[in-house]
Amino acid sequence: MSNNWKYTMQKHKGKLWVTGSVLTTALIGGGVWLAVSDNSPFSPDEAGVTYLASHVMTSDTVGKVNLLSLDSGDTLDTKVLPSGKNYIFESARNYEQFYAYDGENLYQLKENGDKLVSKLVAENLPIISKATHFSYDGKTLGVYSSESKSVSMIDVQEKKVVSEKKETLPVVQVAVHSDSVYYITSSDMVKMSGKKVERVELGDSLISLHVDNTNMIVQSSFGNEKDENVLFSINPKSLDIESLQKTGASNTTMLSKDDKEEYYMAGKYVEGNDPYYLLDRYKVEAEGLKKDSLTIKVPTGEQSVLMDASNSVLDHDYIYTQADSKLKVFDVKSQSYSHELSVSVDFAMPVLNEGGK
């Protein structure tokens, strides 16, 4: 593993920005915030504004979609997608709608006035058998098939495959950004732009890919044996490593985030009689990816609850987690869980309309 790391560093010599904090174990600065003070780093309170979601959308793999009230848990509306298909899902980056895909047809689901709105985005697309990951940006669809072990870049309007790339290693995640398809395997990051395919090796043990309007972060479990993992900040155009940060922990978990949220959040699980997550905030600044002074303690109760990019999203001062047939909302300001809904489904997403209710 160390040889791979040395190879990656040498390969990107001259492109890699490094500070002293990267070369030494990072220390938690500012301590754990347990209460809100006058200089609290949390979102300010504004009259008539709440950042807490009002609604949750859920679906199972056969396409039964429900709209729930977060406050009451009541089902407000239901839509059923065409039967006989198995669906996979992707939240839009603004978490205001999600997409359902069956390997041939693509649907958009969103909330409007306590009602579900279903839209057929595209039908009779090139068939992708056993699609397990996909991403869509309004024009381009990127799909990974576990059967063919390939990633396809599809022009949705033209209904044709623009490019296809087979992979030896399984694909971990797919994302579409600025008409290009990005994906990660356990060791590489790949960019497909039309017929052009670019690849960068990032060592091994890549876990998740985080893309918003301007930034691209790759999470790696490299360094587990030294109680250190790494977050890479990647230039989407060149695939250069612009900066990296050590997390100060092994088996690091990283949450997804609303694309309007300026911070990323990553940390570690602490076992014990009262287990909890200890999460740090990160932000991409002019000089690179920086760890914030804020550290948050999120208790999980007696039962271990897995929090990662696949089931947890950060938005302002709330963390939404789908686990153990529930959707739980952690209020960072009060350091407590504010809501819990029963959601025995394959997919659940808070509707994060800016400004809340």
What b/e sequence results for 230-252 when a residue is b if at least 16 CB atoms lie within 10 Å of its CB, and e otherwise? bbbbbebeebebbbbbbbbbeeb
At 42 the pLDDT is 63
* Separation between Cα atoms, residue 40 and residue 34, nearest integer Å: 10
- Any domain includes 200: yes
> What tokens were used for 327?
């959707």
How many CB atoms are closer than 10 A to CB 173? 21
* Separation between Cα atoms, residue 18 and residue 169, nearest integer Å: 29
CATH number of residue 199's parent domain: 2.130.10.10
At 228 the pLDDT is 87
Positive or negative: CA dihedral 315, 191, 13, 3: positive
Listed residue (114, 104, 100) closest to 64, CA to CA: 100
Q: Which residues contact 2 (CB under 8 A, 6 or more apart)?
A: none
Structurally, the chain folds into a number of domains equal to 1
At 47 the pLDDT is 54
- Any domain includes 160: yes
- Any domain includes 39: yes
Q: Residue 49 gets which letter from DSSP?
A: B
At 133 the pLDDT is 97
At 301 the pLDDT is 75
* Separation between Cα atoms, residue 338 and residue 51, nearest integer Å: 13
At 31 the pLDDT is 37
- Any domain includes 182: yes
- Any domain includes 292: yes
Q: Which residues contact 283 (CB under 8 A, 6 or more apart)?
A: 262, 263, 264, 289, 290, 292
Residue with tokens 């001259």: 14
How many CB atoms are closer than 10 A to CB 62? 14
The number of residues making up the chain comes to 357
* Separation between Cα atoms, residue 222 and residue 206, nearest integer Å: 8
pLDDT in tens, the chain (357 residues): 333 333 333 333 333 322 222 222 222 333 344 333 344 566 666 655 568 999 999 999 999 999 999 999 999 999 999 988 899 999 999 999 999 999 999 999 999 999 999 999 999 999 999 999 999 999 999 999 999 999 999 999 999 999 999 999 999 999 999 999 999 999 999 999 999 999 999 988 999 999 988 899 999 998 888 888 999 999 999 999 999 999 988 999 999 999 888 899 999 999 888 889 999 999 999 889 999 888 999 988 766 678 999 999 999 889 999 988 999 999 988 888 999 999 999 999 999 986 544
- Any domain includes 356: no
User: How many angstroms from the chain centroid is the CA of residue 183?
Assistant: 13
Give the angle subtended at the CA of 44 by the CAs of 42 and 47, to the nearest 5°: 145
User: How many angstroms from the chain centroid is the CA of residue 346?
Assistant: 16
- Any domain includes 45: yes
- Any domain includes 355: no
Contact 140, 152 (CB under 8 A): no
Supply the pTM of this predicted model. Answer: 0.86
Q: Tell me the residue range of the domain where 195 lies.
A: 2-350
At 229 the pLDDT is 93
At 9 the pLDDT is 37
Structure-derived torsion over alpha carbons of residues 213, 217, 218, 220, reported in degrees to the nearest 10: -150
> What tokens were used for 6?
């040395």
Give the angle subtended at the CA of 64 by the CAs of 100 and 259, to the nearest 5°: 40
**Starting at the edge strand that comes first in sequence, how are the strands of the sheet with 160-166 ordered?**
131-136, 140-145, 150-155, 160-166
Residue with tokens 């876990």: 207
